[in-house]
Amino acid sequence: MVGLIPLVLSACNMHREEHHLEAHKVTATTPVSQSVVMTQEYVCQIHSQRHINVRALEMGYLEAIKVKEGQKVKEGEVLFSVIPVLYSTSFEAEKAEARLAKLEWEYSQQLAKDNVVSVQEVALRQAKMAKAQAKADQAEAALDFTKVKASFDGIIDRLHHQQGSLVQEGEILTTMSDNSVMWVYFNVPEARYLQYMEDVKNNKADFKIELRLANGKMFEQEGKIGAIEADFDNTNGNIMFRADFENKDLLLRHGQTGTIVISRVQDNSIVIPQRATFEVLTKRYVYVIDDENIAHQREITIDKELEDLYVIKSGVGTSDKIVLEGVRQVKDGEPVEFEHREPEEVASNLKYHAE
């Protein structure tokens, strides 16, 4: 038994030396609470607020095309004319009938004063005159249909027919777009839709809505949410949002594509550097240093990923000390020697813009 005592003491000394060697030197910091800009991006389709097919109202030959492709037009401006021979002759004939009926009525009034015809005859002539005038008005309206006019201020698209072409009633002549305001449609997942509605309810919907164009540049005007569709798409669980953008310079055109970028400031966000974390079986962890300088592995839940940081949903707070540099040297339950770096010093080299 006496001979075993030196062996036990020697084993204890070896354990102390081994324990001492495992106190790795690392750099530590503290999670910080601050405001960060959170962004979400969605592929989108750009539409004119009004985009219509311009059709022929009557059958006939195109007599004149008053506009060019891509031209801006005003409401009421004549775009196309159909040869109105039949309509004009019909109108002239009906006008003549109306004039004749009026003369007959006026003559019957004179005869009634001389007691040549009865009051009933005068009323009959008056009704005949009204009927003839109604037919003349109808013929004039039909003649007016041969002129295709702009329904609103807009831009003319590609012309489908040229002068002299025979067109049928209802045939498309061109399309026309009102591009003063553009409607930009994008799909939003159900979870983000619910978050948006909660923010609106709590008066926190201070979103900045921007449009990134195909060349990577941001459209100069900011947008606003104009509408949300009534139904979810059951095939993908998304719902359609519409953002409205003023288009003063008419840069945006119907059918363009782009990316909607929605950003907002989120206050009191717990952020840590990405390099302070490590992954095990799809879960992410940090090492938290306790009051006895022992490192403990702790799982964290990430809310958003930023360029250099993680926004933390749960796992650590501003009162914790976490290993920043030397994570790979540390093991759970081992002691560490650390140099503490202030969060402000760490944050100065990092970016706080969430993607």
285 shares its domain with 300: yes
Domain containing residue 111: CATH number? 1.10.287.470
156 shares its domain with 224: no
Provide the residue range defining the domain that includes 63.
Answer: 58-80+147-170
124 shares its domain with 163: no
Q: How many domains does the chain have?
A: 4
> Is residue 34 situated within a structural domain?
yes
> Is residue 3 situated within a structural domain?
no
Domain containing residue 64: CATH number? 2.40.50.100
CA 75 to chain centre: 28
89 shares its domain with 130: yes
259 shares its domain with 187: yes
75 shares its domain with 158: yes
194 shares its domain with 254: yes
102 shares its domain with 119: yes
Domain containing residue 228: CATH number? 2.40.30.170
Query: 24-29 and 336-340 as β-strands: parallel, antiparallel, unpaired?
Result: parallel
69 shares its domain with 153: yes
Q: DSSP letter string over 288-345? A: EE-TTSBEEEEEEEEEEEBSSEEEEEES--TT-EEEEE-GGG--TT-BEEEEE--HHH
Q: Of 20, 27, 19, give the one whose Cα is nearest residue 326.
A: 27
182 shares its domain with 254: yes
194 shares its domain with 258: yes
List the chain pLDDT tens, one digit each, 355 residues.
444 444 444 444 444 444 444 577 899 999 998 888 888 999 999 999 999 999 887 777 888 788 899 899 999 888 888 776 566 666 567 777 778 878 887 777 887 787 777 878 878 878 888 887 887 777 666 666 677 888 899 999 999 988 888 888 888 999 999 999 999 999 999 999 998 998 888 887 788 999 999 999 999 999 999 999 999 998 999 999 999 999 999 999 999 999 999 998 888 889 999 999 999 988 999 999 999 999 999 999 998 888 788 999 999 999 999 999 988 989 999 999 988 888 776 665 554 444 4
> Is residue 12 situated within a structural domain?
no
3-state secondary structure of 260: strand
Number of H helices, E strands in the chain: 5, 19
Q: According to the model, what pLDDT value does residue 355 have?
A: 43
Both structure tokens of 171: 């045939």
328 shares its domain with 290: yes
3-state secondary structure of 7: helix
* Amino acid type, 96: A
